[in-house]
Amino acid sequence: MDPSRIVTVLILAFALYAGWSFLHGGRGRVSLYAVAACIAVSLFGALPAAALRMRGAVEALTLAAISLSLAALASTPGLWEAQLRAAREHARVYQRFRPRDFLSWRGWLKVVDRIGARSAAMGYFGVFALGTVGQLLVAWLSEPQVDRPFFLVALLAPLLFSVVSAIWVYRAVRRVLPGA
């Protein structure tokens, strides 16, 4: 069996499990923060892979961004709020940033405390919007073998995720950190 097919099956299996978990109220052990971070890494990782002509990596990263975006869209605003509320209980937002803060929502809550919910949500959206622009560059720089119209339609999932999740994160943070 081809290693790229194994990677494809693993990515799709994880996305299916994450989507099922989110659809059932987050009963699984998958964090929305981890999924959002994986989407961002996938979006930004595909551009250097395309520049280095690593077609298999580009396909895997693009598939991860699309499938995880669809999985995260199965969540509800209440799930985002519940995960942010749980992170708030363990976070001391007034303390300085530590590298481990960015492995969970604690770092995000500290950013919100420093710059406000609206600016933080716009920054959150900006990260994913830049990643989507990077994916468009991947489609533009790729070999002619890529079906560009299909690729552009497939990028609607990460773009929709960026808009919807930014709204849900903003709403949740306003409830978790009143006055932010």
* Domain-wise residue ranges, the chain: 3-176
**Which pLDDT does position 126 carry in this prediction?**
94
**Which pLDDT does position 144 carry in this prediction?**
60
Instruction: Quickly list H helices, 24-116.
Output: 32-51, 55-72, 77-90, 105-115
pTM for this one? 0.88
* Closest listed residue to residue 26, CA positions, set 74, 89, 64, 69: 74
How far apart are the C-alpha atoms of 25 and 30, rounded to whole Å? 11
Residue 117: HSE in the Cβ half-sphere, 13 Å Cα cutoff: 16
Tell me the pLDDT of the chain (180 aa) as tens digits: 678 788 889 999 999 999 998 988 777 788 899 999 999 999 999 888 888 888 888 888 888 999 999 999 999 999 998 888 888 887 777 778 888 878 888 888 888 888 988 999 999 999 999 998 888 877 777 666 556 677 777 788 999 999 999 999 999 988 888 876
H-run or E-run covering 3 = helix 3-23
Q: What is the largest CA-CA distance in the chain?
A: 55
Q: Which residue has the tokens 């069996």?
A: 1
